Amino acid sequence: MSYMAPELTVVVPTLNEAENIAELLARLHRTLSGLNWEVIFVDDDSTDATRANIAAAAQTDPRIRLLHRIGRRGLSSACIEGMLASTAPVLAVMDADLQHDETLLTPMFEAIKAQRADLVVGSRYIQGGDIGEWSAKRASISRIATFMGRKLVSDLTDPMSGFFMIRRDAFNLAVRKLSAIGFKILLDIVASANRPLKILELPFSFGQRVAGESKLDANVSGQFLLLLLDKLVGRFIPVRFLMFSLIGALGVAVHLAVLWFALNVLKLPFAFAQGAATLVAIVNNFALNNTFTFRDRRLRGAALLRGFVSFAAICSLGAAANVGVASFLFGSAAASWWLAGIAGGAMSAVWNYAVTSLFTWRAR
Ligand code: GDD
Ligand code: MN
């Protein structure tokens, strides 16, 4: 059998999609029969038979590849790594659950080959497209998010689409600046490219999920806001740090609330009350950072306990340094009490963030 290098790589992120793999592959074979294509599944350690089904199909089909990621999560980052694992000049991204109309892949590819576009997007919001059978709630959430996304990238009618094809050289314009946060890889790419891309939109009707469950949860909206924020201010302040500081500020409020309660309601002696308030604030901040700030490196089980101990130790050092710096500035008389206070707080925020992201929530 002679080998033909793929002209098109279809990247398919998967998380527990076992029952959809065979049907997706059958459809890709049918619709792409005139092309040299390959598919790269990027699987974030699914707990069902997803990888087994992919591997079984790959035994008889060299077009099928698998990237298995362990200890990492995220639709956007999965798509990026899949695209980086390919050498094809043209890349497509589509879901595994058959909600994206695969017959669009051929006209997408033709538009790119004919130089009519750098990027072709499957859109639900142009003439001929639609969002399919969505609940009123999901439809309106999507509409709000789409509106916000369009403020950022005005040349897309459906910036929230997860179905698109792009030339590799266009992808390369953006790849080093991607935020890689959350679900919205298309928005990320278009907002990160340093020149306007030639974009074509093709309508499609968002299908019904065939098997399995949606991975969309409340956190996805939070991640979307983070992505927007990172695209707007990320050049100046990393959003992760912003989030960490925000949670830190919330911790101060929690501390004061518990202190008040312990003193006035429980009538505890001050030292006890202050100790309890400190403990509650540390637990609160650890839990929030673990769920939101470091969601992609979230600790569970035994690692959670170890993480908490290191977080508490690092933040205690941060508090000591805070007091040191603030006292020094206050003593040097160059700074007023509040300026010294803010400087101490800011310095411990930077310390806590930098060191906990190195040790407590280490990137794997
Ligand atoms: N590797 C990986 N890691 N894959 C993931 C992850 C993850 O953390 N989360 C979801 N996926 C995979 C799913 O297995 C599926 O193949 C695809 O990503 C989309 O996930 P769904 O849970 O089906 O998302 P959806 O249908 O709600 O959202 C789709 O519609 C949006 C438009 O509203 C996606 O296509 C979005 O990209 C799209 O923007
Ligand atoms: Mn889906």
Quote the DSSP letter at residue 293: I
Name the percent of the chain lying above pLDDT 70. Answer: 99
Contact 136, 177 (CB under 8 A): no
Nearest ligand to the C-alpha atom of residue 99: 2
Helix or strand run (H / E) with residue 162: none
Q: How far is the CA of 195 from the centre of ligand 1 (A)?
A: 27
Greatest alpha-carbon pair distance for the chain in Å reads 83
Q: Where are the domains of the chain?
A: 8-233, 239-358
Nearest ligand to the C-alpha atom of residue 16: 1
Probe ligand 1: pick from 79, 183, 214, 219, max atoms within 8 Å of CB?
Answer: 183
Residues 6+ apart with CB under 8 A from 149: 156, 159, 160, 184, 187, 228
Mean pLDDT, rounded, for 83-109: 97
Mean pLDDT, rounded, for 156-170: 95
- Above 60 in pLDDT, residue 211? yes
Q: How far is the CA of 45 from the centre of ligand 2 (A)?
A: 18
pLDDT computed for residue 142 by the predictor: 86
Name the percent of the chain lying above pLDDT 90. Answer: 66
Three-state DSSP state, 68: strand
Three-state DSSP state, 297: helix
Q: What is the distance between the alpha carbons of residues 12 and 325, in angstroms, rounded to a whole number? A: 51
Decide whether any atom of ligand 1 lies within 6 Å of the 76 Cβ: no
pLDDT computed for residue 153 by the predictor: 86
Probe ligand 1: pick from 14, 50, 75, max atoms within 8 Å of CB?
Answer: 75
Q: How far is the CA of 26 from the centre of ligand 2 (A)?
A: 18
Decide whether any atom of ligand 1 lies within 6 Å of the 74 Cβ: yes
Q: How far is the CA of 164 from the centre of ligand 1 (A)?
A: 13
From the centroid of its chain, how far is CA 96?
A: 18
Q: What residue owns the CA closest to ligand 1's atom 28?
A: 216
Closest C-alpha to 165, from 216, 92, 83: 92
Three-state DSSP state, 335: coil
Contact 40, 8 (CB under 8 A): no
pLDDT computed for residue 18 by the predictor: 97
Q: How far is the CA of 18 from the centre of ligand 1 (A)?
A: 14
Q: Which residues pair with 68 in a beta bridge?
A: 43
CA 74 to ligand 1: nearest atom: 8
Full-model pTM: 0.81
Q: What is the distance between the alpha carbons of residues 306 and 223, in angstroms, rounded to a whole number? A: 26
How would you classify the pairing of strands 164-167 and 90-93? antiparallel
CA 163 to ligand 1: nearest atom: 35
pLDDT-wise least confident of 80-84, 91-95, 277-281: 277-281
| pLDDT confidence tier of residue 364, bands split at 50, 70 and 90 | low
Residue 47 tokens read as: 């707990």
pLDDT computed for residue 73 by the predictor: 87
pLDDT computed for residue 2 by the predictor: 61
Decide whether any atom of ligand 1 lies within 6 Å of the 160 Cβ: yes
Decide whether any atom of ligand 1 lies within 6 Å of the 41 Cβ: no
Closest C-alpha to 242, from 232, 254, 257, 255: 232
Q: What is the distance between the alpha carbons of residues 282 and 277, in angstroms, rounded to a whole number? A: 9
Residues 6+ apart with CB under 8 A from 307: 286, 290, 299, 360, 361
Mean pLDDT, rounded, for 157-182: 94
pLDDT computed for residue 50 by the predictor: 98
Closest C-alpha to 244, from 332, 143, 357, 324: 357
pLDDT tens column, 244-267: 999 999 999 999 999 999 999 999
Q: How far is the CA of 228 from the centre of ligand 1 (A)?
A: 18
pLDDT tens column, 304-347: 999 999 999 999 999 898 888 888 888 886 678 888 888 888 88
Nearest ligand to the C-alpha atom of residue 227: 1
Mean pLDDT, rounded, for 136-154: 87
3-state helix, strand, coil in the chain (%, to 5): 55, 10, 35
- Above 80 in pLDDT, residue 194? yes
Mean pLDDT, rounded, for 59-72: 94
Closest C-alpha to 204, from 234, 254, 162, 146: 162
pLDDT computed for residue 266 by the predictor: 93
CA 17 to ligand 1: nearest atom: 14
Q: What residue owns the CA closest to ligand 1's atom 19?
A: 95
pLDDT computed for residue 221 by the predictor: 84
Reported CATH class of domain 8-233: alpha beta
Q: What residue owns the CA closest to ligand 1's atom 13?
A: 14
Q: Which residues pair with 12 in a beta bridge?
A: 41
Mean pLDDT, rounded, for 34-49: 96
- Above 90 in pLDDT, residue 158? yes
Distances (CA, A) of 350 to 6, 155, 271, 314, 319: 47, 37, 28, 12, 11
Q: What is the distance between the alpha carbons of residues 243 and 289, in angstroms, rounded to a whole number? A: 8
CA 215 to ligand 1: nearest atom: 22
